[in-house]
């Protein structure tokens, strides 16, 4: 077991920052289930969830997800986020895709990645899907499951995956089917960030919290 490590890296991004009036409309970060859904398990081209937002603001500014590297080695990768209308289990695409490039992830650690400047108007209910590409090094990546989002809601017994040919529901132990996610948003009248996709320079990222612990694999 490694000692706890707090790592803060420089943020580099394209476009203007989020409006100060942004509010959290979905937050599932309080209770860690110690469950991780790994991309190699399917293998999966994407992992995500069907969610319903809280509050009233619907112009998304940023989204934060949490990865876990199961191998004791450092690697790099590109993260991709897409949003879809609610469906069975996912409907038509909504905007995007959004990218964070050159992410350097430590071995056997958690790692938060934030997509900024989304500038995307969304409905109350939607699906988010996170993919990975350009993976280097000996890494085993997955997304971490948390439970009891507030604000917002989601079925905690299921998540959504892209299995390479389409979207399917991923069954989960009840209480372990919601993924770590925060979304903040504005109303369209409170200031709109410049559109654009996000990139990180030299593996920089926002608000990184990395520490070692044993997790349950799925």
- Residue-wise pLDDT tens digits, 172-190: 888 999 999 999 999 987 4
Regarding pTM above 0.95, the answer is no
Instruction: Return d(Cα 218, Cα 207) in angstroms, integer.
Output: 26
Q: Give CA–CA dist 112/175, Å, rounded.
A: 21
In the chain the beta strands, taken as DSSP E runs, fall at: 23-28, 31-38, 46-52, 59-69, 75-86, 90-105, 110-115, 120-121, 125-136, 141-147, 153-154, 158-162, 167-171, 178-179, 181-186, 216-217
User: pLDDT for 47-97, tens place per residue?
Assistant: 999 999 999 999 999 999 999 999 988 999 999 999 999 999 999 999 989
pLDDT mean over 160-174 = 93
Identify whether 2 is part of a domain: no
Measured CA to CA, the distance from residue 96 to residue 93 in angstroms comes to 8
| pLDDT on residue 218 | 67
Beta bridge partners of 145: 35, 179
Query: 64 lies in a domain?
Result: yes
In a domain, 8, yes or no: no
Residue 9 within any structural domain of the chain: no
**Which structural domain, as residue segments, surrounds residue 29?**
23-211
* Residue 137 forms part of a structural domain: yes
**Which pLDDT value is given to residue 153?**
98
Which residues 6+ apart lie within 8 Å of 58 measured at CB?
A: 25, 121, 122, 123, 124, 185, 187
What domain count does the chain have?
1
In a domain, 13, yes or no: no
Asked whether residue 14 is domain-assigned, the answer is no
Does residue 194 lie within any of the structural domains?
A: yes
* Mean pLDDT lowest among 39-48, 146-155, 200-209: 200-209
């Amino acid at each position: 077991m490694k000692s706890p490590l707090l790592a803060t890296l420089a943020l580099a991004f394209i476009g203007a920052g989020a409006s100060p009036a942004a509010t959290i409309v979905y937050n599932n970060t309080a209770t860690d289930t110690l469950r991780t859904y790994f991309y190699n398990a399917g293998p999966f081209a994407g992992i995500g969830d069907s969610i319903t937002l809280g509050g009233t603001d619907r112009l998304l500014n940023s989204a934060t997800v949490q990865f876990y590297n199961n191998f004791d080695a450092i690697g790099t990768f590109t993260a991709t986020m897409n949003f879809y209308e609610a469906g069975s289990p996912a409907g038509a695409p909504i905007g995007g895709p959004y990218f964070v490039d050159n992410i350097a992830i430590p071995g056997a650690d958690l790692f938060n990645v934030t997509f900024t400047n989304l500038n995307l108007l969304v409905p109350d209910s939607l699906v988010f899907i996170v993919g990975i590409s350009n993976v280097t090094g000996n890494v085993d990546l997955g997304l971490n499951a948390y439970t009891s989002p507030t604000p917002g809601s989601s079925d905690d017994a299921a998540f959504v995956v892209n299995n390479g040919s389409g979207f399917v529901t991923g069954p989960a132990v009840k209480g372990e089917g919601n993924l770590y996610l925060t979304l903040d948003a504005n109303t369209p009248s409170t200031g709109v960030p410049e559109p654009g996709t996000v990139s990180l320079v030299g593996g920089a990222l926002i608000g990184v919290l990395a520490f070692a612990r044993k997790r349950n694999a799925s």
